[in-house]
Amino acid sequence: MLSQQIIDQLQPYDFDRLAHKEKDGRRRLRLIALAHLKEGKSCSEVGAALRVSRHAVMRWVQWFIAGGVARLAGMPHDWSTQRLAKGQEEACR
């Protein structure tokens, strides 16, 4: 169960409305999870409902606490699209 302090941090947000506007599927799922948590469900219940682990739900809560709604976008993975090191890329031009 989440602490009352965390639930209080969730109260000002309308996660259902934010999820409805969100185009990114992963971020939408995270917003829906926070909406369920705001209603008082446990991380295990939310994980089961959304077919993710409770650890993923807890990680999303940590992200939200650390950086608000904007942080729910996840971590940027610049390395996944970078083919060459910057120096090598410059040499090819």
At residue 70 the predicted structure's pLDDT band, cuts being 50, 70 and 90, is: confident
Arithmetic mean of pLDDT over the chain:
86
The pLDDT assigned to 77 comes to 59
What range does the domain containing 66 cover? 4-75
The reply to whether 47 falls in a domain is: yes
pTM, full prediction = 0.76
Close Cβ partners of 73 (under 8 Å, ≥ 6 residues apart) = 24, 27
Mean pLDDT value across residues 53-72 = 92
The reply to whether 86 falls in a domain is: no
Domain count, the chain: 1
The reply to whether 90 falls in a domain is: no
Check residue 39 and report its DSSP letter: T
At residue 76 the predicted structure's pLDDT band, cuts being 50, 70 and 90, is: low
What separation, in Å, do the N-terminal and C-terminal C-alpha atoms of the chain show? 55
Q: Is the pLDDT of residue 74 over 90?
A: no
The reply to whether 83 falls in a domain is: no
Mean pLDDT value across residues 73-77 = 70
The reply to whether 41 falls in a domain is: yes
